[in-house]
Structure 1
């Protein structure tokens, strides 16, 4: 993972920041997410019953795939002087294809814009595509908003 100055980071607008490492979405991960969120729908948690569904197997929750963006973005270049980064929201987000249990996914990140909010705070807009290994269609596409804070207020 590289560290960019704020000037270098802003120069990346319109460019791909990179690809995250692959993350396996195991049945154990899906089951733990189901328990945590209390979304125990059979298409996520019951392999026998899910085998009879249109998906043919258990699939990850869309929100599990979305939540893994927080891990994926750690593989992207960091911005020097950042003291804190937070999720600010999504302008757009769509679940395009289901992620089957056992599949591997990764994020492709493209910096769309950087906006100065106030001294020491910027807002980033990043286009994200979560790819499923071996599949043509992505799991999700999103326009992700983030805020970064800098200790020097510049």
Structure 2
């Protein structure tokens, strides 16, 4: 659950690491659904038999599917009070560092990177996110996600 804070205190959270998300299993069914939605049906994602004959040893999640899981951590970040709207402003510095093999579990770690006020009611809330793969040293993903908050009063 988000911690609601006075908007003028949001900057005090810069550098704060939030609790990681819960573990999420990346199933073949989820990968197939993503492939269907995006039209990306490359065999490495959707054909377990053919993918098992590659150096990956089986199917892997789409990088964009892994990126698409990042909202799972947002409930752990502080948000300003009286916020009628928050928007996805975009991602910066996205790096796909390791494949997520089908059946693996991932979780997202996050940190408040910056809070940039445009005026007294609008700010960019910048987060640094890392997607961890259970049992693996190398993370799957690093990204900076920017949210745009409008506060009312």
Q: TM above 0.5, one fold?
A: yes
5 Å-filtered alignment, 1:111-130, equals 111-130=112-131
Structure 1 range deviating more: 38-47 or 100-109: 100-109
What residue is the counterpart of 2:106 in the other structure? 105
1:47 Cα offset (Å): 0.6
- 1:18–1:110 contact (8 Å) kept in structure 2: no
Aligned partners of 2:19 and 2:82: how far apart in 1? 20
Q: What is the aligned residue count?
A: 152
Superimposed CA distance per residue, residues 63-122 of structure 1 (whole angstroms, 9 cap, x where no aligned partner): 001011123323433332222211111221100000111111111111111011123111
What runs of 5+ residues in structure 2 fail to find an aligned partner?
none
Given the alignment of the two structures, is residue 95 of structure 1 paired with residue 96 of structure 2, yes or no? yes
1:34-113 correspondence to structure 2 within 5 Å: 34-113=35-114
Give the RMSD, CA atoms, in angstroms. Answer: 1.4
User: Is the contact between residue 20 and residue 76 of structure 1 (CA under 8 Å) also seen in structure 2?
Assistant: no
Q: Distance in 2 between matches of 1:108 and 1:124?
A: 16
1:13 maps to 14
TM-score scaled to structure 2, two decimals? 0.92
Mean CA deviation greater in 38-47 or 11-20 = 11-20
TM-score, scaled to structure 1: 0.91
Q: Secondary structure at the match of 2:13?
A: coil
- Secondary structure, aligned partner of 1:19: coil
**Greater CA deviation, 40-49 or 140-149?**
140-149
